Amino acid sequence: MDWFCGGSLISDKHILTAAHCTISQSGPPQMVKLGAVNLKDTENYVQEIIIEKFVNHPEYKRPKKYHDIAILFLRKSATFSAFVRPACLNTVEEIVYPQAKATGYGKTSHDGLDTSQILLKVDLDIIPNSICCKYLRFRKHEMPENLVKQMMCAGDLKEGRDTCQGDSGGPLQVIKSFYSNVIY
**Catalytic (active-site) positions:** 20, 68, 168
What DSSP letter does each residue of the chain carry, written as one string?
-------EEEETTEEEE-GGGG--TT-S--EEEES-SBTT---TT-EEEEEEEEEE-TT--TT--TT--EEEEESSPPPP-SS--PPPPP--SS---SEEEEEE--BSSTT--PBPSB-EEEEEEEE-HHHHHHH----TTT-TT-S-TT--EEE-TTT-----TT-TT--EE-B-TTSSS-B-
